[in-house]
Amino acid sequence: MNHWLIAPVVVPAFVAPLIVLAMRHDLVLQRVVSVAATVAQLAIALALMALAAGGEIHVYRLGNWAAPFGIVLMLDRLAALMLVLTAVLALVVQLYAVGSGWDRKGWHFHALWQFQLMGINGAFLTGDAFNLFVFFEVLLIASYGLMIHGGGEMRLRAGVQYVIYNLAGSTLFLAALGTIYAATGTLNMADLAVKVAQLPADDTALLRVGAVLLMLVFAVKAALVPLHFWLPATYARAPGPVAALFAIMTKVGVYAIIRFFTLVFPSDSAVERLAADILLPAALATLVIGQIGVLGSRHLGRVAAFAALASVGTLMIGVAQFRQPGLIAAIWYLIHSTLAAGALFLIVDLIGARRAGGSLWLRPLPPIAQGGIVAALFFAAAIGVAGLPPLSGFLGKLAIMQATRQADWVLLIWAVILVTSLLAIYGLSRAGSTVFWKAHELGPAPVPQAASRDSRRPLPAKVEPDEDVQDLADSASPALALTAAGALVAGMVALTVFGGPVMDYSRATARQLVDPAPYVDAVLMRQEGAR
């Protein structure tokens, strides 16, 4: 038993209370410890990825309890990939939060950040359905705190909606787990796979109800239409770095759908066909509504939020195939869309920090400071989000279209993907030209304010509840913020350049996912006293 498997949960679980209890009043110490903890998580995630790349499924039995009775953590290629992705995104976005000064707009930013990472890492690692619920709650409760970080009326209102929507989702999750437990008598995922396969075919009514409820819950987390209503206001009103971290939160829902509907409900069963039949139309509707939202939004935050929504739609088209080619494409696109959505949210926040009054509304305002470099970043991120060559979004969309070539609805799927890409290009270029070009009609750029401030002066926690964004004058290090946003764009470039190795990894991951037998073997058979 490899104890490193629990480290991605234990490290933030220790660091977060430490920050709250021991260094509440020392922001510099908080920053150092929190960034160091995220770096440590990245290192651990990379080590675990190297471990999982061998193809073996590693199991960690908490308290060394035997499998269906105790909670297990499972590490496979998909879980390792998600851990690495989370750690990379979290590190870059955290550096942005430090550089832009967001982390001192309210209290406990870094502690909540670590709790959030603990929940996300745990959700990716766990092999127990009820434990998945618990980790969902951990990540949600931290996200509630992060979402309303900095306060302000509209942010709190959006936060209340977000909390209530997700509380209803959690209630549904419990109902789904109860139903599945009543039907099978177990909640361990590998054991569920065995029990579900043993159920007589005409006795699956209760199980099907449970499976559909479960899919609804994950669809709420992934923000699939028609369960997406929490997303636009939440992401548009959340602080920029928090919205960027939330780019991985919708992927938790996607991950859970992939996990359950490849491992627990085996392929070609009635349950999986039912899931695929519901999921594909929902994915197409998500894509259409997301891109129409990009086109129709009058607020830059909402443009980014709807772009994130649309990327979930594209991703789910791949997942809904539940076949190896679809999963390969989906895993690739998952990496891309996380980086792209994160980059877009950070760049929107960069723009907000530089515009007068922090306004993100799509109205011409005087040109912004460092307009050239911010515009270039926005342009690159928009290319990535819309899926144009040469960035990785193009390859992802191409892979998904190729994977659906054999599908029944191939013409509809291709038409939706291509037409909505056009909508996204139009919407994003309209937003970009309003912010960057029409600005010049209004006169010359104001003198940048950040340069005049003495950077050695200690910064007081500045709380301006009426202001949506942290403006440039509050920024601790504008260069760090710009670099962090650029790093995510560079990540998309790297994903394109190293497309071959990443695609090989995705292929190996999908191959591992479609065969549930090794999971059952690793969790249930290879332990003391197994049959």
Binding site for other proteins (CB under 8 A): 130, 134, 137, 141, 144, 148, 151-154, 156-161, 163-164, 167-168, 170-171, 174-175, 177-179, 181-182, 187, 233, 298-299, 357, 359, 361, 363, 465-466
Instruction: Select from 42, 30, 44, 34 the least CA-distant residue to 114.
Output: 34
In angstroms, how far is CA 114 from the centroid of its own chain?
A: 15
Q: Which is nearer to other proteins, 135 or 218 (CB)?
A: 135
In angstroms, how far is CA 109 from the centroid of its own chain?
A: 19
Q: Which is nearer to other proteins, 31 or 237 (CB)?
A: 237
User: Helix or strand or coil: residue 61?
Assistant: strand
What is the Cα Rg of the chain in Å? 23
Crossing angle of helices 153-184 and 129-147, rounded to 10°: 180
CA gap 420, 44 in Å, rounded: 39
User: Helix or strand or coil: residue 211?
Assistant: helix
CA gap 19, 23 in Å, rounded: 5
Q: φ and ψ at 462, to 5 degrees? A: -105, 120
Q: Which is nearer to other proteins, 130 or 426 (CB)?
A: 130
* Local structure of residue 438 (DSSP, 8 states): G
For residue 447 the two structure tokens come to 């003198």
Count of C-beta atoms within a 10 Å radius of residue 55: 12
Q: Which is nearer to other proteins, 58 or 149 (CB)?
A: 149
Nearest approach in angstroms of CB 219 to other proteins is 18
For residue 94 the two structure tokens come to 């955290």
CA gap 368, 448 in Å, rounded: 8
Q: φ and ψ at 126, to 5 degrees? A: -70, 150
Nearest approach in angstroms of CB 156 to other proteins is 4
Q: Which is nearer to other proteins, 182 or 418 (CB)?
A: 182
By 3-state DSSP, what share of the chain in percent is helix, strand and coil, each rounded to 5? 75, 0, 25
Nearest approach in angstroms of CB 350 to other proteins is 20
Burial class (CB in 10 A: 0-12, 13-18, 19+), 275: buried
Nearest approach in angstroms of CB 380 to other proteins is 27
CA gap 463, 176 in Å, rounded: 42
Nearest approach in angstroms of CB 186 to other proteins is 9
Q: Which is nearer to other proteins, 298 or 526 (CB)?
A: 298
Length of the chain: 531
Nearest approach in angstroms of CB 166 to other proteins is 9
Nearest approach in angstroms of CB 358 to other proteins is 9
Nearest approach in angstroms of CB 349 to other proteins is 17
Q: CB–CB of 369/448 below 8 Å?
A: yes
Q: Which is nearer to other proteins, 128 or 349 (CB)?
A: 128
Nearest approach in angstroms of CB 498 to other proteins is 41
Q: Which is nearer to other proteins, 52 or 213 (CB)?
A: 213
Nearest approach in angstroms of CB 227 to other proteins is 15
Q: Which is nearer to other proteins, 357 or 390 (CB)?
A: 357
Q: Which is nearer to other proteins, 36 or 168 (CB)?
A: 168
Count of C-beta atoms within a 10 Å radius of residue 96: 28
CA gap 300, 352 in Å, rounded: 9
What stretches of 300-323 show up as alpha helix (H) in DSSP? 300-319
Nearest approach in angstroms of CB 302 to other proteins is 9
Q: Which is nearer to other proteins, 178 or 448 (CB)?
A: 178
Q: Which is nearer to other proteins, 144 or 379 (CB)?
A: 144
CA gap 330, 317 in Å, rounded: 8
Q: Which is nearer to other proteins, 1 or 182 (CB)?
A: 182
Burial class (CB in 10 A: 0-12, 13-18, 19+), 303: buried
Report angle CA 452, 448, 439 to the nearest 5 degrees: 170
Nearest approach in angstroms of CB 391 to other proteins is 31
Per the rule left: phi > 0, alpha: psi between -120 and 50, beta: everything else, 269 is: beta
Nearest approach in angstroms of CB 181 to other proteins is 5
For residue 416 the two structure tokens come to 């939706």
Burial class (CB in 10 A: 0-12, 13-18, 19+), 150: buried
